[in-house]
Structure 1
């Protein structure tokens, strides 16, 4: 029933011209049996967001607290680009709705190709970016490189700033190619931002917020990446979450990563304490997927989960539990997504 309701909702949203999660006529009034709870009219931070980004955001907002969208991070080094997805289908008969990709190792063309293939299946695309402080390479460089002088790097007109922008623009150029094909992206840069292990958080909260705003402005106003939904991701063991938050005008969806078993309800509540009860909150990375029963008991309304790749999905999830989760009415899989895009 939930998925039939979602299809009705998205049809109404897509026809609307507003980017609001709830339009001038509340969906709860038009479809009283849907129990839509959003009272605020949430809009994307970018007022010029394109129609597919608007439609996807609206669907996510309306799903929030009524269902959980399934997601899986890909790997590309296990003999097949579909390694995790084939595994899930073999064990559950279902595919996840969200495909997680990563621009690491400058794999812009490969990521974009796979993103387009998933989009054409009606799926949802999210992209992160493991890279060094020069926006190159991969996970090791995330951990081992640093910004030598944050003041210079974040001050317009300096050589260090120009170098930062040049690296940042590599991602923007790749994302612009997805924009030109009408592909919306749940863009999750600088993830686990408060953890202290990646270069982007080593300069502290104030420098991080400046960095986030620079990327947001560069991508939104210079590159006109109107296909992006900006996803802000905390680590699972950070503190002082409010000090790292750049503001609602720069964020569309918040959330966190955790590899602890269970609903992680306390983590969910920590994020809610910063962004409030209306903005969708996602479980950006996990190992063992929480069951709907655990979520309901703990009061954690994660709008999606994203299982990490390789052994995190194959070794951390009991196959019977995995099948039950993917076939639970509360969990939305690829075949159960409504027609979101135009």
Structure 2
């Protein structure tokens, strides 16, 4: 069983909503002046983790794993450790694309079900969007220039807003039985410094990318009046070049979470130079995020098929032993699809024991460690 450190006590006590009989008021540090109480609390609780512990997440963890699919309350991570990830990643591709209304609705209901399940068991939902190319109708890997066409005044702007309407409909539908909106971390147009998505650096100008981000946030927040969204910016690796990271940064008034995706620099434990560059990048992001009262995260990472069984403890220790990088609030690995494509161990895999060691580290937080992550913070506790 995972032992609770003083930090775990801190996490459990964040549910306290009174301070000497007075109800605590949460300062709103999100980019949404109308953010819901639960959204403000989630943001604050994540931000206050900096330097204390790191949440672990995985993409599609409840949907399927190696050798199984669609079994309730199951994940490969839970099969190995006895606990689900704390954060669950999902993708919006299937709910907002050219398809029949019947298929879009079916896909949306399925995704909604998993988001609700994750929330009900106490987890956090984060949404990415592998969105189709609106110019060609092909998928996100079609790098035909698209961004200029979907901005206001562009030939495909209406198609883009229609897709955003589908995203908004899904996010708006995420409510508790009492009608409370469930917070989500939305991470659109990710890995934008790469050359594999149509919103990547070679295929749109800096100004176009920033305009796309600005329009998306303002459309969802202001036009659609969605106030349960935390917005995460996540380019691909920048190899310690913080200027490259910030080149397309939309601005402090449009971003809540500063993250980045990095597989390449963590893919080989023997390549210490690459790992050091990755850790340096994390530290740079942490420093900036904390200076702006925001959250820092490693939004996607992992080693496909975990060919080096000590990957988790080695990478995590590298991050946590760095005087700046250890301030990230969460990290997420990609999905477990099958034996040829997985990023977390499954029962019987050679990395299983190392992952259990990673799980038992008091600096890692899984679902069992969270308490009420959406609860009001008691400032006397959060300041400890």
- TM-score scaled to structure 2, two decimals? 0.74
1:271 counterpart residue number: 285
Pair 83,125 (structure 1): closer, same or farther in 2 beyond 3 Å: same
Looking at structure 1, the residues matched to 113 and 72 of structure 2 have their Cα atoms a distance apart, in angstroms, of 16
1:313 aligns to 2:337 (yes or no): no
Q: Which has the higher contact order (CA 8 A, sep 6+)?
A: 2
Match of 1:155 among 152, 159, 162: 152
- The structure with the larger Rg is 2
Report the CA distance between 1:178 and its aligned residue. Answer: 1.3
Tell me, yes or no, if the aligned pair for 1:292 and 1:330 is still in contact at 8 Å. Answer: no
Worse overlay, 83-92 or 113-122: 83-92
**CA deviation string 1:141-200 (max 9, x = no partner):** 11115344x4453234x5432222122221111111115542100111111122122112
2:297 counterpart residue number: 282
**CA deviation string 1:66-118 (max 9, x = no partner):** 11011111164653136995321222222211111111222322111100011
Looking at structure 1, the residues matched to 352 and 143 of structure 2 have their Cα atoms a distance apart, in angstroms, of 39
2:69 counterpart residue number: 80
Looking at structure 2, the residues matched to 313 and 154 of structure 1 have their Cα atoms a distance apart, in angstroms, of 38
Pair 93,174 (structure 1): closer, same or farther in 2 beyond 3 Å: same
The gaps in structure 2 that reach 5 residues or longer are 1-5, 96-106, 267-274, 303-310, 337-341, 376-384
1:1-342 correspondence runs (5 A): 1-12=6-17, 15-20=23-28, 43-74=29-60, 76=63, 79-81=68-70, 86-106=75-95, 107-134=107-134, 141-148=139-146, 150-156=147-153, 158-178=154-174, 181-201=180-200, 202-237=203-238, 240-259=244-263, 260-261=265-266, 264-272=278-286, 275=289, 277=291, 278-287=293-302, 288-289=311-312, 291-299=315-323, 300-301=325-326, 302-310=328-336, 311-314=342-345, 318-341=351-374
Pair 71,133 (structure 1): closer, same or farther in 2 beyond 3 Å: same
- Count of paired positions: 316
Pair 69,135 (structure 1): closer, same or farther in 2 beyond 3 Å: farther
Pair 89,160 (structure 1): closer, same or farther in 2 beyond 3 Å: closer
Pair 110,243 (structure 1): closer, same or farther in 2 beyond 3 Å: same
Pair 181,332 (structure 1): closer, same or farther in 2 beyond 3 Å: same
Looking at structure 1, the residues matched to 79 and 155 of structure 2 have their Cα atoms a distance apart, in angstroms, of 52
2:272 counterpart residue number: none
Worse overlay, 8-17 or 203-212: 8-17
Tell me, yes or no, if the aligned pair for 2:38 and 2:182 is still in contact at 8 Å. Answer: yes
Tell me, yes or no, if the aligned pair for 2:80 and 2:345 is still in contact at 8 Å. Answer: no
1:23 counterpart residue number: none
Looking at structure 1, the residues matched to 120 and 135 of structure 2 have their Cα atoms a distance apart, in angstroms, of 29
Looking at structure 1, the residues matched to 368 and 333 of structure 2 have their Cα atoms a distance apart, in angstroms, of 18
- TM-score scaled to structure 1, two decimals? 0.83
Pair 284,191 (structure 1): closer, same or farther in 2 beyond 3 Å: same
Looking at structure 2, the residues matched to 330 and 205 of structure 1 have their Cα atoms a distance apart, in angstroms, of 37
**CA deviation string 1:200-242 (max 9, x = no partner):** 2221322111000000000000111100000111101476121
Tell me, yes or no, if the aligned pair for 1:10 and 1:58 is still in contact at 8 Å. Answer: no
Pair 102,81 (structure 1): closer, same or farther in 2 beyond 3 Å: farther
Pair 207,275 (structure 1): closer, same or farther in 2 beyond 3 Å: farther
**CA deviation string 1:306-326 (max 9, x = no partner):** 011111223898211110111
Tell me, yes or no, if the aligned pair for 1:72 and 1:84 is still in contact at 8 Å. Answer: no
